[in-house]
Chain A
Amino acid sequence: MAKQEFETPSLKKIPEIPPVRIGAMAHSKPFIAKAEHQEALGYPNELVNNWKQVALDKMEELLGKYRSLQVFMDTCVKCGSCTDKCHYFLGTADPKNMPVARQDLLRNVYRRYFTFAGKYFPKLVGAVDLTEEVVDEWYRYYHQCSECRRCSVYCPFGIDTAEVTMAGREILAAIGVGQKYSNEIIGKVFKIGNNLGLPEPALADTLEGLEEEIEEDIEVPVKLPLDQKGADVLLITPSADFFAEPHVDGLIGYAKVFHQAGISWTLSSHASEAANFGLFIGSYENMQKVAMRIREAALELGVKRIVVGECGHAWRVAYSFWNTLIGPFDFLDPNYPVPQHICEFTYDLIKRGALKLDPSANDDKVLTFHDSCNVSRASRMGDMPGGQFVIPRELIKASCNHFVDMAADTIGEATYCCGGGGGLLTDDLLELRVKGALPRVQALSEVIENHGVTHMAAICAICKSQFSKVLPHYGFGMDMIISVHQLIGDALVFDSTH
C-alpha cells in the first residue's frame, strides 16, 4: 500500500463538532466503473452524449416512482438539525458532507428544472444549472454517504439522505458514470453467485477446510453443508464469512449453533451471498435480480426456512425488501419468520433452553457492541420495535460475563456508521473511511479507557472489514473487532444428549 497521504483525526477528550472547512474532501473520488462493469448491470458504458437530458429524464422518472424522493425534495426547511449528525461531516469537516448539503446537490438542480421558484428565481432559492461540474460533485459527494440513515432520525420531516444518495447514484449510473467497486461486485454476483467471485469448487473446498479446523479444535464433527437438498434451513450469509477475519469465526459460530441444536441446514453455491449491492446503487431492478437467486436456491433445495447471517445492509434488504421483491414465501414453513436473522434464530434456541452456554469461556474479554447502521435504523429483529438492539446484546451477555455499552448517543437508533458502509468499503476511499470512523472510534476509546473494554462485537460483514482496517490508524488492534457468533461459538458447551 502507498504511504498514507492524509492525517488520521485525533481523538478528543470530549467529542466535538468541527467548524466547517469548505472543500476539505473535494478531492475524494472513487474509481469510475469500466465499460464491462456498467454493461453487466444494463447501464451505458461511458458518459453518454446527451447526458444532461438523460440525467433530467432519469430524475423526473425517479420523482414519479419514489414518493420519498419527491417529498424529500420539497419539504426541507434548512433547519440545520441534521448538520452535525453525519459521521463523514464530523470526521472531515467538509460542509458538503452535512446531510442537508448533500441533498442540496440534487435539490438545487431539482428546483432549477422542476419548480416554479427555481425556474424563474434561481438565485433566490439557490437553484443551479446542471453542468459537468455539478455531475462531478454528485459523483464525489454521493460517494461520501454510507446510506446509514442517521440523519433521518433527527430530521423533523424524516428526510432520509440515503434515499437521495441512491437517486443520485442511479442518475449517475444512467448517464454512464457508475462506481467501479459496487458495479463490479454486482456483476460478480450475476455471474458467479457471490461478491468475491468464489466459484462452487473453491467454496466447497473452503468449507471442508473449516470443518477440519473445527474438529481439530474442539473434537466435535461440526459440518458446513453445501447444496444439501432437503435441509430444513438455507443459510444466506455474506461471502466474507467464508474466509475473511474475523468474519469466519462467526460462520464457525453459526455452524456450531446449528450442530448443537440438531437442525439440518445448508449453504447454497447458487446464492452464496447475503450482501446486495443493488441497494447501494439505488437500483430496484438490480436489487431484485440479486435477491432472486436466493428465492431460486430455496426452491431448488426444498428448504423450509431461510436464515440470514451477520450482515447489516443485507439484513435490511432481507428483512425489509425480500418479501416485496421476491416473495411471497408461501413455500416455506409459516411457523417461522421469513427471513429470520441468525441472532433471532440463536436467541430463540437459547430461550427454549436448546443451547448450553458457558460465559466464562470469554472471561478474557470485556465486550462492547457496535450497532450496525442498517440493522438499527432500517430493520428489526424479534416481534417488538427495537428488538434489533435487545437481541444481539442478550446473545453477548449470554456468552460472556463482561459487557459495557458505549455512550448512549452513539448506540441504538443513534448509532454511528462504521465509516465503510453503502458501497464505500474500497481502498480508493481509504481516507474517507478512516475519517468517517472517527465518531465510532471516539466512543470506543472512551469505554476502553473507562471500562477496560478489550473487544467490540458486531453483526455486519462491512463493519468487521472496515474496523479491521481502520482501527490500527487510531492506534488500536485490528483484532479488537469480532463477530457476535464467535462469542456464542466459543461459549457453547457441547454435550451428547442433543
Chain B
Amino acid sequence: MFLTALYACLFYVMTLTLLIGVGLRVIRYARIPSPLVIPTTPAPITRSGVVARMTREVVFFESLFKGSKWTWLFGYLFHFGMLLVLLRHFRYFTQPVWYWVETLQWLGLYAAFAMTLGLAGLLARRFLVDRVRYISAPSDYLMLVLLLAIALSGLAMKYVWHTDIVALKAFMLGVMYFDWQPLPADPMLLIHLSLVLFLMLIFPFSKLLHAPGMFFSPTRNMRDNPREHRHVAPWAEKLGAEKLGAKQPGSAATSRAAD
C-alpha cells in the first residue's frame, strides 16, 4: 500500500510540476515582446504561410533536414517513435480504450524499436562527431541515457519481465479518478515509472523546453511584412515617441509586437 500511495502521490506532484513549470515558461515567452521583425527569410508573408512553415518544422523537422541528414534521421526516428509509443500508452488511461488507440497498438510496438534506435544514434553522434562532442555537457548525454533507459525498461517489460498490466491499468485509472488501486510491485515496472516521473520533473528546467519554445521562435513564427506593418514593442514606444517628437503623427497604424 505504501508503494501505491508513494507512486500515486508522485504522479500528482510531477504532473503539477510539469504543467505549472512549462506553463510559467510559456507565459514568460508570450509576455516578452519581439521588438523587431526578424524572420529568417525567405519567410512567409501571410499568417497561413507562417502556419505552414511551422507545421513543416514540427511535422518534418524541415530545418534540421537541411542541416544534418544523420541527425535528422535519428532525431526523427526518436521523436515520432516516442509519439507513437505515447499514443499506444493511452490504453492505460482510457476505459473503454479509444478505437484509434486500439488500431495503433501494433504500430506502437515497432515504434518502440525506432525510438530506441534513434536515441542510440543520437548518443553515438555525441561521442563520435568531434564537433558535437565539443558542445555536449554531461546533461546532454544523461538526457539521452534517461530516455534510452525509459525505452529499454518498457521493452523489457513487454518482452522479458512481464508485469500485470491489468492491475497496472487499474492503478493508473485509480490515480486519475482518485480511487487508488494497488500498484504491481514488479521491479522493472517501478524502474520504468520512476524514470518517467523523473523526466516529467526535469522537463520545465531543462532543454526539453525546446518543445514549447520552438513555437515562440521569432525567426520562424513572424511574418515578413515590415514595410506594411509597424511593429513597435511597448518598451520601444516611449523611446520612439521621444525621439520622433512632433514629427510623429501618432502610432494608430502600429501593429503591436505581440502579433
Contact = CB atoms under 8 A, between A and B. Distances in A.
Interface string A276-289: 00000000110011
Contacts of B232: 324
Interface stretch (B62-70, B152-160, B172-180, B181-189): B62-70
Interface string A20-64: 101000000000000000000000000000000000000000011
Interface in B150-204: 202
A159 B226 contact: no
A126 interface: yes
B210 to A, nearest CB: 4
A199 interface: no
Interface string B18-35: 000000010011001111
A413 interface: yes
Contact of B135 (A98, A288, A338): A98
B129 interface: yes
B5 to A, nearest CB: 27
B25 to A, nearest CB: 7
Contacts of A378: 38, 40-41
Contacts of A84: 131
A66 B219 contact: no
B214 A158 contact: yes
Contacts of A376: 41
A421 to B, nearest CB: 16
Interface in A54-100: 63-68, 70-72, 74-85, 95, 98, 100
Nearest to B224: A380
Interface string B24-66: 0100110011111110111111000100000001000101101
B249 interface: yes
In terms of DSSP, what is the predominant structure of the interface of chain A? Answer: helix
Given A64-B32, A76-B207, A81-B68, A157 B227 contact: no
B205 interface: yes
Given A67-B29, A330-B249, A386-B42, A83 B132 contact: yes
B207 A156 contact: no
Contacts of B29: 67, 70-71
Contact of A158 (B40, B42, B137, B139): B40
B32 to A, nearest CB: 4
Contacts of A380: 41-43, 224
A111 to B, nearest CB: 9
A65 B33 contact: yes
Interface string A410-430: 000100000000000000000
Contact of B231 (A116, A125, A324): A324
A296 B247 CA distance: 9
A94 to B, nearest CB: 11
Nearest to A117: B205
B230 A327 contact: yes
B138 interface: yes
Interface residues of A, number: 81
A104 interface: yes
Contacts of A131: none
A192 interface: no
Interface size class of B (residues with CB under 8 A): 35 or more
Interface in A99-144: 100-101, 104, 115-117, 121, 123-126
B94 interface: no
B35 A71 contact: no
B134 A124 contact: no
A68 B38 contact: yes
Interface in A139-190: 149, 152-160, 163
A471 interface: no
Given A20-B131, A83-B132, A320-B36, A379 B41 contact: yes
B28 A70 contact: yes
Contacts of B233: 65
A314 to B, nearest CB: 15
B1 interface: no
Q: Which of A19, A116, A126, A324 has the most CB of B within 10 A?
A: A324
Nearest to A153: B40
A261 interface: no
A320 B38 contact: yes
B71 A79 contact: yes
Q: Which of B125, B138, B251 has the most CB of A within 10 A?
A: B138
Contact of A66 (B35, B125, B227, B249): B35
B244 A75 contact: no
A295 B245 CA distance: 12
Contacts of B63: 81, 153-156, 158
A115 B138 CA distance: 17
A461 B45 CA distance: 28
A385 B206 contact: no
A149 B140 CA distance: 25
Contact of A385 (B25, B45, B134, B138): B45
Contacts of B139: 117, 121, 124-126
A155 B63 CA distance: 6
Contacts of A323: 226-227, 229-231
B205 A65 contact: no
B224 A385 contact: yes
B23 to A, nearest CB: 14
Contacts of B42: 380, 385-386, 388-389, 413
A337 interface: yes
Nearest to A384: B45
Interface stretch (B8-16, B96-104, B106-114, B234-242): B234-242
A84 B70 CA distance: 13
A156 B61 contact: yes
Given A70-B28, A157-B220, 4 more contacts: A126-B139, A153-B40, A157-B213, A157-B217
23 contacts: A66-B35, A67-B29, A68-B217, A68-B219, A74-B25, A76-B207, A78-B140, A80-B125, A80-B132, A80-B135, A81-B67, A81-B68, A83-B135, A95-B135, A123-B138, A154-B68, A156-B57, A156-B64, A295-B244, A326-B244, A330-B249, A385-B44, A413-B40
Interface of A: 17, 19-20, 22, 63-68, 70-72, 74-85, 95, 98, 100-101, 104, 115-117, 121, 123-126, 149, 152-160, 163, 284-285, 288-289, 292, 295-296, 299, 319-321, 323-328, 330, 337-339, 376-380, 384-386, 388-389, 413
Interface of B: 25, 28-29, 32-38, 40-45, 49, 57, 61, 63-64, 66-68, 71, 75, 125, 129-132, 134-140, 142, 202, 205-207, 209-210, 213-214, 216-220, 224, 226-227, 229-233, 235-236, 239-240, 243-244, 247, 249, 251, 253-254
